[in-house]
Structure 1
Amino acid sequence: MLFLGLLLAALGGVAVAVFLTVRGLRAVVRRSERSRPGSWLRAVTLLAGAGAVAMYAWGLLHVGFAVMQAEDGGAGSFPLQPCREAGPQVASRVDGYAVSYLPLRFECRLSDGGTYVTSSVPGYVNPVVAALGLITATSGILGSTTARRAHPPVA
C-alpha cells in the first residue's frame, strides 16, 4: 500500500512540475510580464520550483521501486532485495525497512536496532532538490521584495 501512495505522490509531483514549468515559461515569453519589476525573478522562482518538484518526484519513484521490491514476497524475498547491497553478513540481520521523506531515502533496519541507508535513491537527488529549493525560496523572496518596492502601499 505504501508503494501505491508513493506512486500517486510522484505522479502528483509530475503534474505540479508541469504546471509550474508552463507558468514559468509563460512569464518568460509574455511581454506584459517582462515589463513588470521582478518578473524575471518570478520566472526563476517558478522554473526552479518546477525542477525541485520534478527531482523530488524522481526520487519518490526510486523509493517506491525499493518499497515494491521489499514488499515482494516469495522465493528469494529474504533478506529484503534493496538491503542486500551491504553484503550477506549485514543483510542477514535486516528485520525491516523505513522510508525517510526528508532527506529522501530508503533505510534498512537491523535486528540490533541500527539502520543503514541503501543506494536506492540516486546520490544526486537530495542535493539537487535542496539547491533548487533554496534558489526557489531566495528568488521568491527577492521577487516579492522587488515588486513591493516598485508599488509601495498607498496610505
Structure 2
Amino acid sequence: MNFLLDRGPLLRGLALFSCGLALALYGWGLLHLLGAVLDAEDGGANSSPVRPCLTARSGVEPVDYRADYVPLRFVCETKDGGSYVTDDVPGYVNPGAFGFVLAGALLAVGAGYEAELRARRAAAAPVDGKPGPTS
C-alpha cells in the first residue's frame, strides 16, 4: 500500500498530460490561424479586401491584417485606424489552452510539494527503529 502514499508520480504524470493537451489545443488553433493567413496572402481575383476580413460589418473597410500568436487571433485593421478580431480561430482555443497550462503548473507545484513532504517524513523517521530525540 506504499504506492497509495506516493502521489508524486501521479501528479507529475497529470501535469505532463495537461501541458500536452494545452500544446495540442494551441496547435489546433495555430492551424486555423495559419489557414486564415494563407487565405489572406492568396493574391488573385476577389482578394481585396482579404477574405478572412470579409464579415457582415457594414461601414467598415479593412485595409490590412495581422496575426497574433499569444493569444491566437486574426486581426483585421480598418481604414480609420481601428481593428477587429475575426472568428477564424475557434473561441475555445485560447481559454482552453490557458486552462490546461494553469492546471499543469498547479499539478507540477503539487508534485513538488508532495516530494518535499515525503523528504520531511523520511528525515523525521527513525533510522534504527528507535524514536528520535524530542527536543
Which category describes the TM-score, using the shorter chain as reference length? 0.7 to 0.9
TM-score by length of 2: 0.81
Q: Secondary structure at the match of 2:31?
A: helix
The amino acid of 1:119's aligned partner reads D
Q: Which has the higher helix share?
A: 1
Aligned: 1:130 with 2:98: yes
Aligned to 1:110: 78
| Unmatched 5+ stretches in structure 2 | 124-135
- Percent identity reads 41
In the alignment, which residue of structure 1 is the partner of 2:8?
38
The count of residues paired between Structure 1 and Structure 2 equals: 120
Q: Is the 8 A contact 1:37 1:150 kept in 2?
A: no
User: How does 1:80-91 map onto structure 2 within 5 Å?
Assistant: 80-87=50-57, 89-90=59-60
Q: Which residue does 1:77 correspond to in 2?
A: 47
Matched, 1:99 2:80: no
Does the Cα contact within 8 Å between 1:66 and 1:120 map onto a contact in 2? yes
Whichever of the two has the greater Rg, that structure is 2
How far has the Cα of 1:87 moved from its partner?
A: 3.5
2:102 equivalent to 1:149: no
Kindly state the Cα deviation for residue 38 of structure 1 after the two structures are TM-superposed.
Answer: 1.4
Q: What is the CA–CA distance in structure 2 between the aligned matches of 1:72 and 1:136, rounded to whole Å?
A: 39
* Pairing 1:22-33 to 2, within 5 Å after superposition: none
